[in-house]
Amino acid sequence: MSQTSSKLIAILIFMAAFLWMGSGFIPVLANNEISIPISKKKTTPTPSVEILKSDAQEIWQQVILYGITEGNRSVTLKSQTHGKVEKINFLEGEYVKEGDIILSLAIEDRKKNLESAEALLQQRQLEYNVAKSLKNSGHQSKTKLSEAKANLKSAEANLARIKTAFENIFITAPFDGILQELSVEIGDFIHQSGESVATILDNSRIIAVGQVPEKKISGIKIGNNARIRTVNEIITTGMVSYISKIADPVTRTFKVEIEADNDSQDFFEGMTTEIVIPTKKVMSHVVKSSYFAFDESGEIGIKTIEGNNKVKFNPIEIIKEDKQGVWITGLASNANIITLGQAYLKDGDVAKIAN
């Protein structure tokens, strides 16, 4: 065989081997000792999820604050004169009515001064009446009548001053309330007017005070209804009575006061409270907190199934939480909320509904 023929045969054998290998067909030997599997491309299965078909409901959007309670009003009683504390008629914590005498100072010579001033006034009144009668009959000059009138006015002023000094020994309640504190005891001496002797607290109404973030202050109006709840589950309702027009320079919050009746006397000053103020009605869905998800930026939301079974991340706002669950806004009126399987799905992924 010529050299040219040998080369031709070699080329033909090489081409045949190449075509055979490229075809992917490898015969299995009779004794099953050699078998080469054919490589196939793998396909990822569509993930399955469970959903809840939810319809939005109309509820009140609320502003929730935390604050403390204050009494309706409180006043510190101060002495208007000097003297020794002679009698105390009430104990701390007791209820007093407007005009009740809380305590009294020693009368000393004030009673005698009062009686003397009353007698002097009677005398000056008689002198004036006589002078006026004589003037009218022409037996006394106008000057004498003017002098008698001046003496009468002086006696009236003197009696008023002494009467006030006498009345000032009695410290009375300016309104109905609780005797919160006594600053003196029987036998103490009050050296001058202006010394504190007692504190009266009007607890007939209670004020709950909280701070509202500037983002939410525009939704609160004077007269809005509100609920007050203490840590030991004392609950009452009231209304917004005060909204500060100036923000706290540090917290950028606004002071708000809620006023409510306290006829039962269940509320005391200084209690920690939760204040709930309904502001407006919104369409909301109620969900479990386990349905929540987060996007790449860390924003909280709910994932839903939209058209073509595509996953959508919906940022939400939490309105309130109660026994039914967590009420949120941010979803369509009718939503297919993913309740199981949302953790590994991204916005835009396709999912299969299992239920």
Residue ranges of domains in the chain, CATH in brackets: 49-60+283-353 (2.40.420.20), 107-168 (1.10.287)
pTM: 0.62
Can you say how many angstroms the Cα of residue 13 is from the centroid of all Cα atoms in its chain? 92
End-to-end Cα separation, the chain, in angstroms: 77
CA distance linking residue 326 with residue 44, whole number of Å: 35
Q: One digit per residue, pLDDT tens: the chain, 355 residues?
A: 445 555 555 555 655 555 555 554 444 444 544 455 555 556 678 889 999 999 999 999 999 999 999 988 999 999 999 899 999 999 999 999 999 999 999 887 778 888 888 888 898 888 888 888 777 766 666 777 788 888 889 888 988 888 888 888 899 999 999 999 999 999 999 988 899 999 999 989 999 999 999 999 998 999 999 999 999 999 999 999 999 999 999 999 999 999 999 988 899 999 999 999 999 999 999 999 999 999 889 999 999 999 999 999 999 999 988 899 999 999 999 999 999 988 888 889 999 988 7
Assign residue 252 a region (left: φ > 0; alpha: ψ between -120 and 50; beta: otherwise).
left
CB atoms within 10 A of CB 200: 24
Nearest to 340 by CA among 282, 287, 267, 261: 287
The predicted structure's pLDDT at residue 13: 61
The predicted structure's pLDDT at residue 256: 97
